[in-house]
Amino acid sequence: MLAYIIRRILLSIPVLIGVSLITFFLTQVGGDPVRIMMGQHADKDVIAQIRHELHLDEPLWKQYLYFLHDFFTGKLRSFKTKRPVWDHLKERFPYTLSLAILSIIIATIIGVSAGIISAVKRGSWFDNLAMLASMIGISTPVYLIGLVFILLFIKKLGWIHGVGVWDAWLEVDLGSIVVQIWFPLCILLPAITLGAQPAAFIARITRSSMLEVVKQDYIRTARAKGVPEREVVLKHALRNALIPVITVLGLEFAYLLGGAVLTETVYAWPGLGTMAVQAFRDRDIPMIQGTVLFIAFTFVFMNLIVDVLYSWIDPRIRYD
Amino acid sequence: MRKVLLLLVGLVLLMPLLTGCIRIRQSDEIQEAKWIKLYGDLRERMGRLEEKVARLEEAVESGAVVVRKGENKSSAASLFKKPKVKYGGVLRIVQPTDPPTLDPAHVTDSTSSFVCMQIYEGLVELGPDLKVRPAIAERWEIKENGTTYVFHLRRGVKFHTGREVTAKDFLYSYLRILDPKTKSERTWLFENVLGYDVFKAYRKLYIALKDWINTSKETAPAGVKEALAEFSKISDDELKRIGDDVFNFTKEVLPEVVKAVNQNDFGKAKVCFEKIDSWFDLKKIMAKGFEVPDDYTFIIRLKQPFAPFLAVLTMVNAAVVDKDTIEKYGEDWSNEHPVGTGPFKLKEWKHDVRIVLEANKDYWRGRPYVDEVLIRIIKDEVTSFTEFEVGNVDIHPGVPDSKYKYVKKHPVLSKCYQEKPSLSVFYIGFNCKKYPLNIKKLRQALAYAVDKEKIVEKVREGRAVVARGIIPPGLPGANPDVQNYPYNPDLAKKLLAEAGFPGGVGLPVIDLWYNTSERNARIAEVVQYYFKKIGVKVRLNNVDWGTYLKKLDSGECQMFRLGWIADYPDAENFLYILFHSKNAGANGNHTFYSNSEVDKILDEARREVDFNKRVKLYQKAEKMIMDDAPWIPMFHNKDIILYQPYVKGVELTPMGADHIRLRSVWLDK
């Protein structure tokens, strides 16, 4: 197993180099970052000077080496904000991570349970309703869900104070000490919004996968030997039906870790997605490079975790 | 399996502690913090009370108030009455992006400019009437035909660190902008200051020679010749004004460089390079440009008269910065320690979430009214508008297009907003150098063909005013009589025929470019429709902003849309930058318009010191440019600012919502 993990990590290095090379050369197409910074009234000499300071007037392969050097020494700085790219990532990633975790938890709970019930009670009104809901969930744009939620929960009902990030500490007084709990109500709406599509997706996958498994001989055997139905479904059937669900979950999670541009925009949530989009707009090459490499890394890492999880859920899968 | 599950559950439970979601604190600590706050509040109230008592005593002493038993109670009481303005409170405001920087040398966008305007100050500032008024400079004199500016600094103006501002700080701040190491985008602020073009030429020469030496080529690289050409533009007179030292050195070293280039003498070039390397220094060359005779006098000398210079100095880039802070914190100083002299100082900056500014209690004009300013970053306009409606935001710059009519009709909101045409212009530009748009009659025909009123009414939904000329109406000296091309399709057709394309026959398809955005696309489509009506076929092309700029600079676009927003309120900022042939391309004249007579007038106006004479010159130039029709000026956008009913003292100027001074805002809550 360990050998497998090490091999996978080593294999991911060329992937990351490839990603960085491709993005590096893609960012060369189009406008000049210095020109964009300068606005419409720009002195050519000053542009040339700044380009010189930023090494942009040197051959591409040299620029790429500069990039690698700066990246590994932590000196990579955004052209636009002049701050280290790593600082930007450090600020943004916790927001993206917490949002991704919460929305994937919500999606899993809703999706898996709806999927199981639908499969067990196939053809019932619940099944029909759940599948209709999942169809709506998959096809509704995130942006729309977000706006409707804001109008409903913030403006009309007033259950939630507002969008954006706000510190909310719940104080519990216990005599000599006071416990302050971070009560992040502000993450709830974005997480549900972001979780809606994966939830619908997972519900459908779980349902079809369960239907497949329920037909198997070992389920009939389990029922024949008198195992309670509850146990048959949750232990024998579900565990075997989980493989495709885990695959989807892993991919969805890795995808969410790359940032969720629309949700972040609607809820003023400072995640990686909006940052990457802005960096592309500004042709902020170091920022694009850093962000893309970072996202690629999390993607590769998540895929590795999913593969390891397979063997845990289904011991028949072994990698050595 | 169980163990793993248990471990996972344990981890999940521990997570909040590890990530700081749960804090355990001693009650005492919290109590103490509360007491300290209470104490602070009490002290402040005491202070205000003392102030009032002092005022009363003064009034009694001067005889304005006589306090006897039961007499004149009301006038005595009036002294104790709350002043009309209230202090305290947190002002919450929205901005669409995190400011890219809080370093004045790098500010080019409106959000950074807005935040910096609260933190920093310069020698002078713009009043609501767009006139230049004193800030840190108490007064100034303009001497020697408008080439020398002597600023007398106010005493006792302090940085947030407590150190007093002197003329040396201005010298440092301005040299810092010009220093290539700063990589400032705004060096053009001081392009007219004596010595800067000499420095630039030397710097160019230095880089080119270095390149020659590093690559050790046989022949000199093209850069050396370009740099020498720069030197040829500089007169001996100017060199002498900068200083004998500069004059002598230049006269000595330049012929050597020329010799080295002509003879392709690598060795000589190296000697020259070493000479320049050891001699050349920004401070030395700018010594006459920026001079500090004493701590409270700062002299700026220009290479030639440049009338809008005071207006240029009102830009936030020309603010004074603290040398000690910058040297202490290095390149990242402005992230956590943006130290200026302004009414607010930075308390917290949580990137992309919020910026908290606190009142500078030692501000030289007296502390600002509000205690704190909370600037929230919300990108989506619809979302931030909802936040405003719910009451989570006090000031909201701008209104989403879809909400504009709603706000105007709303019983409360319609009373809490200000709207002004900004100092900007949106136009369709023609490339005057490229066939077929180099034909003046064709350009005029196109200008007559577009119904600007309809576009403002239908596409911009009344959120702009139709352009009458190039210069926006709010600008001092704007010509009220200037005429834009009215909508007249018949005349357009006639002119089209006169240009040699009756009914559009023989005219190739023209490309209309715009940078990708829904608003631009809608306008471009309407313009295409109007041109088609007179028989001119137009193909629409859109690209992203970066590519767009590149295409505009190279003159690739035949027809394009652009907007221009004033950096400072002066006609020069429009006409000189956008139409002088010297500025063709990246410098701002993207139509490559060139009219030697207009150039002459614009040059003259720049040197003219008398305001009324300048206005006349600019009006004359504008009329000539309009006649040549390198543009179809379309409209001037309106700037809007919304605020809650209890927010007082907001003043929107034509400079736009990012020029609002929060020091005059107070909360009536």
Please give the interface size between A and B, counted as residue pairs whose CB atoms are below 8 Å apart: 165
The average pLDDT across B177-200 equals 89
Q: Judge whether residue B201 has pLDDT over 80.
A: yes
Of B441, B421, B417, the residue nearest B651 (C-alpha): B417
Q: Where are the alpha helices (DSSP H) in B190-235?
A: 196-215, 222-232
A175–B380 C-beta distance less than 8 A = no
How far A146 CA lies from chain B's nearest CA (Å)? 10
Q: Where are the alpha helices (DSSP H) in B504-610?
A: 518-533, 545-554, 571-579, 596-607
B546–A82 C-beta distance less than 8 A = no
Length of chain A: 320
Q: What is the DSSP letter of B91?
A: E
B353–A165 C-beta distance less than 8 A = yes
Domain boundary residue, one of B54, B80, B106: B80
In a domain, B147, yes or no: yes
Domain boundary residue, one of B59, B80, B101: B80
Determine the straight-line distance between the first and last CA of chain A, rounded to whole angstroms. Answer: 6
Domain interval for residue A219? 85-313
B200 touches chain A (CB under 8 A): yes
pLDDT, position A319: 58
Confidence of residue A58 (pLDDT cuts 50, 70, 90): confident
| Same domain flag for B128 and B37 | no
| Same domain flag for B241 and B336 | no
Q: Judge whether residue B144 has pLDDT over 70.
A: yes
| Same domain flag for B74 and B200 | no
In whole angstroms, what is the distance from residue A198 CA to residue B434 CA? 54
Among B382, B387, B586, beta carbon nearest to A162: B387
pLDDT, position B80: 54
Among A169, A178, A184, beta carbon nearest to B27: A178
| Same domain flag for B574 and B612 | yes
pLDDT, position B153: 94
In a domain, A100, yes or no: yes
The average pLDDT across B241-262 equals 85
In a domain, B473, yes or no: yes
How far B359 CA lies from chain A's nearest CA (Å)? 22
Continuous segment of H or E residues that includes residue B510: strand B510-515
pLDDT, position A170: 65
pLDDT, position B174: 95
- In this structure, are residues B467 and B636 in contact, taking their beta carbons and an 8 Å threshold? yes
Residues of A in contact with B376 (CB under 8 A): 164, 268
- Which strands, in side-by-side order, build the sheet including A169-174? A169-174, A177-182, B22-26
CATH code, A236:
1.10.3720.10
Among A267, A278, A281, beta carbon nearest to B544: A281
In a domain, A55, yes or no: no
CATH code, B500:
3.10.105.10
Residue-wise pLDDT tens digits, B564-595: 988 888 888 899 999 999 888 888 899 999 99
Confidence of residue B360 (pLDDT cuts 50, 70, 90): very high
Among A32, A158, A181, beta carbon nearest to B21: A181
Domain interval for residue B613? 424-638
Q: How far is CA B513 from CA B32, B54, B160, in A?
A: 64, 67, 48
In a domain, B139, yes or no: yes
In a domain, A176, yes or no: yes
- In this structure, are residues B255 and B262 in contact, taking their beta carbons and an 8 Å threshold? no
| Same domain flag for B505 and B564 | yes
Q: Which two tokens stand for residue B610?
A: 């008398």
In a domain, A106, yes or no: yes
The amino acid that residue A256 corresponds to is: L
B108–A39 C-beta distance less than 8 A = yes
What residues have CB less than 8 Å from A232, skipping those under 6 apart?
A219, A222, A223
What residues have CB less than 8 Å from B214, skipping those under 6 apart?
none
In whole angstroms, what is the distance from residue A203 CA to residue B63 CA? 85
Q: Which two tokens stand for residue A150?
A: 């804001």
A147–B550 C-beta distance less than 8 A = no
pLDDT, position A171: 67
How far B244 CA lies from chain A's nearest CA (Å)? 26
In a domain, B107, yes or no: no
- Which of B24, B27, B352, B583 has the most A C-beta neighbours within 10 Å, making it the best mutation to test the interface with A? B352
What residues have CB less than 8 Å from B337, skipping those under 6 apart?
B325, B328, B329, B346
pLDDT, position A5: 79
The amino acid that residue B472 corresponds to is: P
Among B183, B564, B586, beta carbon nearest to A53: B183
In a domain, A4, yes or no: no
B112 touches chain A (CB under 8 A): no
The average pLDDT across B184-201 equals 89
| Same domain flag for B520 and B588 | yes
Give me the number of domains chain A comprises: 1
A46–B187 C-beta distance less than 8 A = yes
Q: Judge whether residue B25 has pLDDT over 70.
A: no
- In this structure, are residues B611 and B477 in contact, taking their beta carbons and an 8 Å threshold? yes
Residue-wise pLDDT tens digits, B269-300: 888 888 888 888 888 889 889 999 999 999 99
In a domain, B278, yes or no: yes
| Same domain flag for B275 and B323 | no
| Same domain flag for B253 and B277 | yes
In whole angstroms, what is the distance from residue B356 CA to residue B93 CA? 10
| Same domain flag for B482 and B533 | yes
Residue-wise pLDDT tens digits, B478-523: 888 888 899 998 999 999 899 888 888 888 999 999 988 888 899 9
A238-257 vs A188-214: helix crossing angle, rounded to 10 = 150
In a domain, B630, yes or no: yes
Residue-wise pLDDT tens digits, A271-291: 888 888 888 888 888 888 888
What residues have CB less than 8 Å from B484, skipping those under 6 apart?
B452, B466, B467, B468, B469, B626, B633
Confidence of residue B345 (pLDDT cuts 50, 70, 90): very high
Residue-wise pLDDT tens digits, B431-460: 998 888 888 889 999 999 999 999 998 888
A268–B379 C-beta distance less than 8 A = yes
- In this structure, are residues B530 and B518 in contact, taking their beta carbons and an 8 Å threshold? no
Q: What is the DSSP letter of B503?
A: G
In a domain, A74, yes or no: no
In a domain, A40, yes or no: no
Among B181, B382, B586, beta carbon nearest to A44: B586
Residues of A in contact with B101 (CB under 8 A): 81-82
How far A160 CA lies from chain B's nearest CA (Å)? 11
Beta bridge partners of B91: B373
Kind of pairing, strands B132-134 and B124-126?
antiparallel
- Which of B90, B183, B184, B564 has the most A C-beta neighbours within 10 Å, making it the best mutation to test the interface with A? B183
The label of the residue with tokens 């209709």 reads A132
In a domain, B142, yes or no: yes
B108–A38 C-beta distance less than 8 A = yes
In a domain, A242, yes or no: yes
| Same domain flag for B243 and B298 | no
A30–B588 C-beta distance less than 8 A = no
pLDDT, position B644: 93
pLDDT, position B636: 92
Of B321, B311, B313, the residue nearest B103 (C-alpha): B321
Mean pLDDT estimate for chain B: 86
DSSP string, chain A: -HHHHHHHHHHHHHHHHHHHHHHHHHTTSS--HHHHHH-SS--HHHHHHHHHHTTTTS-HHHHHHHHHHHHHHT--B-TTT-SBHHHHHHHHHHHHHHHHHHHHHHHHHHHHHHHHHHHHTTTSHHHHHHHHHHHHHHHS-HHHHHHHHIIIIIIIS--S--SS----EEEEEETTEEEEEE--GGGHHHHHHHHHHHHHHHHHHHHHHHHHHHTSHHHHHHHHTT--HHHIIIIIIHHHHHHHHHHHHHHHHHHHHT--HHHHHHHT---HHHHHHHHHHHT-HHHHHHHHHHHHHHHHHHHHHHHHHHHHH-TT----
Among A42, A158, A161, beta carbon nearest to B587: A42
pLDDT, position B3: 62
In a domain, B32, yes or no: yes
| Same domain flag for B502 and B612 | yes
Q: Which two tokens stand for residue B503?
A: 């009914």
Q: Which two tokens stand for residue B332?
A: 């990242």
Kind of pairing, strands B372-377 and B464-466?
unpaired
Residues of A in contact with B178 (CB under 8 A): none
Among A91, A161, A177, beta carbon nearest to B25: A177
Residue-wise pLDDT tens digits, B94-108: 999 899 999 999 998
B25 touches chain A (CB under 8 A): yes
| Same domain flag for B550 and B633 | yes
Of B237, B252, B218, the residue nearest B304 (C-alpha): B237
Give me the number of domains chain B comprises: 4
Q: Judge whether residue A237 has pLDDT over 70.
A: yes
Biggest distance spanned by C-alpha atoms of chain B: 102
A88–B351 C-beta distance less than 8 A = yes
